[in-house]
C-alpha cells in the first residue's frame, strides 16, 4: 500500500522544489529525491519573465527571490555588424500588469530560496544523493528505487512527479519518447564580471550576428560590476575541450576592451527542441525539462517549467484531497504539452534564428523593421511583451 496522498518528486531543480513547496503548503506530505549532494550551481536560467512573477508570489517566494536578485525593465537588440541599437522596455506594461518587471537571478539561487521556504514544512523532506534508477506503479501508488549513499533504497508514494531534467530517468523508465530534435550547435554559457554598463550596454542585450551572436544579460548586483551572463553559440563539431581557448576570440570581437574582464564560470550545452509524447502515465506526471526541452534564447525553458508547476502542484493537491477529479491531471498533461509544442518551442527557435543565424539580409531587414517599430509604437511593445503570458495555463481548479 502507498502512504496515502504522499507525493514523491524526482529532481531538486527549480521545478521539483517549487512543486514540492506548493504541495507542502497545501498540507500534502512530499519527498524530493535528488541525485546530487546539493543544489546544482551550473550557469543556466537567470531571467524570469514578468509573467511568471505572480506565480512565485502565490508560492510565497517572490519577496525572497527579489531580495537575492534584482528587477529590471530594459531590452536592447544590437546588430553587431552595423552597431544599430533598438531599445524598448517593460515600462510599457506599467498599469497593465501586476509586475511590469523581469526578475534576474541565478537558477540555483531560486532553488535555494524555495528550499528555505520548504524547510518550514515538517511533512516535506529532500533526500540528497538519491538518484532515481527505476520505478513501478500500480493502481494506488508508485514505488521508486534510488541509489543512495548506503545502497539502493526503495520509496513508495501515491504519486510521482518527474522533474529530473531533460535526461529524465522517470521519462525513460516509462518508455516515453522525447520527440523532436537536437540542434547542431553548442551553446556556451559564461558567467563573467566586466563593467558592461559603464561601457554602454543595457542590462539585456541581444546581439544579432551569424558568427558572434550573443545574449549579454546582468544576473545580479554583486561586486563592483554585478555578475553577467554572456551566452554565445558555436559549431558542436568543434572539440568541447577547446571552448576556453576559443572564448577570447568571441569576446575580442564584441567587448570594447578586456579591461576588468573576469571569467567566473562557464558551461557548454547541447540544445534541443523536444517534448515527451505524453506528460502523464498513470500516477506519474512529468514537468519542466523532463517534459520539454528548448534552446534557451529568449528564456522560455524554465518559464514553461514554472507555468507547468503553478498548475500541477495545485491540481494534484486538489485530487489528493478529493476536491478535483483525476481527469484534471489529463488536462494538465494535454494543455501543457500543447502550449510547449505550439507556442514556446517555435518562438524559441525563432529567437535563436534571429540572434545567431541571421544570414539572409532580406529576412534580417524584415525582422529589424518589426523591431524598430518598438521604439515608437507603444501598442507594438505591449503586444511583444505580452507574449510570455501566452505560455501560461490558467488554474485548472479555478483558484486564479
Cell triple for residue 271? 540544445
Kindly report the number of other CB atoms within 10 A of residue 211's CB atom: 14
Burial of 80 (0-12, 13-18, 19+ CB in 10 A): middle
**Residue 313 within binding range of ligand FAD, rule CB under 6 A:** no
256-263 long-range contacts (CB < 8 A, ≥24 apart) are: 256/199, 260/193, 260/194, 260/195, 260/225, 261/192, 261/193, 261/194, 262/192, 262/193, 262/194, 263/190, 263/191, 263/192
CA distance 353 to 206: 12
Contact 54, 349 (CB under 8 A): no
State which of residues 13, 106, 162, 226 lies at the interface with ligand FAD (CB under 6 A): 13
46 binds ligand FAD (CB under 6 A): yes
> Does residue 392 belong to the site contacting ligand FAD (CB under 6 A)?
no
State how far Cα 123 lies from the chain centre: 27
Which residues in the 152-191 window bind ligand FAD by CB under 6 A? 163-165, 169, 187, 189
319 binds ligand FAD (CB under 6 A): no
Residue 55 binds ligand FAD (CB under 6 A): no
Mark 104-123 with x for binding to ligand FAD (rule: CB under 6 A) and - for no binding: ---x----------------
CB atoms within 10 A of CB 154: 11
List the interface residues with ligand FAD, window 241-300 (CB under 6 A): 269, 288-289, 296, 299-300
- Strand pairing class (284-286; 159-162): parallel
Q: Which is nearer to ligand FAD, 36 or 395 (CB)?
A: 36
Of positions 51, 190, 202, 231, contacts ligand FAD by CB under 6 A:
231
34 binds ligand FAD (CB under 6 A): yes
Residue 171 or 368 with smaller CB distance to ligand FAD:
171
CA 81 to chain centre: 30
Q: 45 vs 192, which CB is nearer to ligand FAD?
A: 45
Q: Do the Cβ atoms of 180 and 221 come closer than 8 Å?
A: no
Q: Which of 25, 44, 280, 337 is close enough to bind ligand FAD by CB under 6 A?
A: 44
Binding site for ligand FAD (CB under 6 A): 10-16, 33-36, 40, 44-47, 107, 131-132, 163-165, 169, 187, 189, 231, 269, 288-289, 296, 299-303, 305
Amino acid at each position: 500500500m502507498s502512504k496515502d496522498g504522499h507525493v514523491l518528486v524526482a529532481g531538486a531543480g527549480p521545478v521539483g522544489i517549487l512543486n514540492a513547496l506548493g504541495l507542502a503548503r497545501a498540507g500534502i506530505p512530499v519527498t524530493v529525491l535528488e541525485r546530487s549532494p546539493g543544489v546544482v550551481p551550473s550557469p543556466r536560467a537567470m531571467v524570469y519573465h514578468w509573467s511568471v512573477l505572480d506565480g512565485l508570489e502565490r508560492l510565497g517566494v517572490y519577496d525572497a527571490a527579489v531580495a537575492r536578485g534584482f528587477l529590471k525593465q530594459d531590452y536592447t537588440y544590437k546588430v553587431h555588424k552595423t552597431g544599430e541599437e533598438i531599445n524598448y522596455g517593460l515600462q510599457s506594461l506599467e498599469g497593465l500588469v501586476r509586475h511590469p518587471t523581469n526578475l534576474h537571478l541565478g537558477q540555483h539561487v531560486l532553488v535555494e530560496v524555495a528550499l528555505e521556504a520548504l524547510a518550514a514544512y515538517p511533512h516535506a523532506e529532500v533526500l540528497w544523493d538519491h538518484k532515481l534508477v527505476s520505478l513501478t506503479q500500480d493502481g494506488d501508488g508508485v514505488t521508486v528505487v534510488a541509489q543512495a549513499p548506503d545502497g539502493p533504497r526503495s520509496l513508495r508514494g501515491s504519486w510521482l512527479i518527474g522533474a529530473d531534467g531533460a535526461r529524465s530517468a522517470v521519462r525513460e523508465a516509462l518508455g516515453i519518447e522525447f520527440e523532436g530534435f537536437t540542434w547542431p550547435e553548442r551553446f556556451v554559457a559564461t558567467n563573467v564580471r566586466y563593467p558592461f554598463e559603464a561601457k554602454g550596454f543595457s542590462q539585456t542585450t541581444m546581439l544579432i550576428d551569424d558568427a558572434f551572436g550573443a545574449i549579454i544579460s546582468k544576473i545580479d548586483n554583486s561586486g563592483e560590476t554585478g555578475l553577467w551572463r554572456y551566452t554565445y553559440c558555436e559549431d558542436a563539431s568543434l572539440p568541447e575541450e577547446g571552448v576556453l581557448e576559443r572564448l577570447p576570440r568571441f569576446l575580442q570581437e564584441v567587448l570594447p576592451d578586456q579591461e576588468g574582464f573576469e571569467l567566473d564560470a562557464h558551461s557548454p550545452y547541447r540544445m534541443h527542441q523536444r517534448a515527451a509524447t505524453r506528460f502523464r502515465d498513470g500516477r506519474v506526471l512529468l514537468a519542466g525539462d523532463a517534459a520539454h526541452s528548448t534552446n534557451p534564447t529568449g528564456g522560455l525553458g524554465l518559464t514553461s517549467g514554472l507555468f507547468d508547476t503553478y498548475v500541477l502542484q495545485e491540481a494534484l493537491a486538489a485530487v489528493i484531497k478529493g476536491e478535483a477529479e483525476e481527469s484534471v491531471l489529463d488536462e494538465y498533461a494535454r494543455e501543457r504539452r500543447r502550449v510547449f509544442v505550439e507556442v514556446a518551442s517555435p518562438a524559441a527557435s525563432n529567437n535563436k534564428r534571429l540572434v545567431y543565424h541571421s544570414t539572409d539580409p532580406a529576412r534580417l531587414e524584415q525582422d529589424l523593421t518589426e523591431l524598430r517599430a518598438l521604439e515608437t509604437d507603444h501598442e507594438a511593445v505591449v503586444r511583444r511583451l505580452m507574449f510570455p503570458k501566452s505560455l501560461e495555463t490558467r488554474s485548472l481548479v479555478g483558484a486564479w
